[in-house]
Amino acid sequence: MEQGKSSLEDGYSVLRPGKLANVVTCLEMTEMPVPKPRRQGSSGLALHRVEHPKLDAYRALFRRVGEDWMWFSRLIMPDERLRQILTDPKVELYTLRDGAADIGLLELDFREEGQCELAFFGVVPEAIGQGAGRFLMDRAIERAWVRPIRRLWVHTCSFDHPSALGFYRRSGFRPYAYAVEVHDDPRLTGHLPRTAAPHIPLVEP
């Protein structure tokens, strides 16, 4: 995670209308945890490596997985920049399939020597609470530690599912830093529908 240019002072920091701020929690693991036995209900699930992604299909799944949690970074990223990331040999992109349907997204980023970032991880809303997330996380940890890394890390934020932080900790990650992210509300810029992430109030400028 990139370091901010300065630290916030104690107390409240007022945002301009149209801006959002969320608290980011960074977590890491420095060794592979003991593998967990596969759970019941995961027999129809499979991890599928995507080596030549089509940007439209990728963004459609990205939106399905992340719209409720204010994922928008890959929706506003220029095509060439996104293609460069997704086709980098040090980036592994996967979808989680239930039969023929893609229901989850996983992106492992090994571009920093000795490290892996769990860059994007999630399942579609209808798959939450059905064991798909646990199946995907277990496969993510397995795939990350196949490479000679010293550290696997991820960040979550206050816009995410309320169970996300606990899920990461149960998976073996330990919190190590906080940050505050400020950005334009993508529901007001047109990158997400105004109905996205209803748990985050929409404040008109």
DSSP string, 98-152: ETTEEEEEEEEE--STTEEEEEEEEE-GGGTTTTHHHHHHHHHHHHHHHS--SEE
Q: What is the pTM of this model?
A: 0.91
Predicted pLDDT of residue 81: 97
Burial 134-143 (b: 16+ CB within 10 A, else e): bbbbbbbbeb
Cα–Cα distance measured from residue 152 to residue 114, given in angstroms and rounded to the nearest whole number: 9
**Domain segments of the chain as ranges:** 20-29+46-183
Predicted pLDDT of residue 31: 95
Token output for 127:
């798959």
Mean pLDDT of successive 10-residue segments in the chain (205 residues)? 64 91 96 77 85 96 96 96 97 96 97 98 95 95 96 96 95 96 95 94 90
Fold observed for domain 20-29+46-183: Aminopeptidase (3.40.630)
Predicted pLDDT of residue 34: 84
Number of C-beta neighbours around residue 180 at 10 A: 14
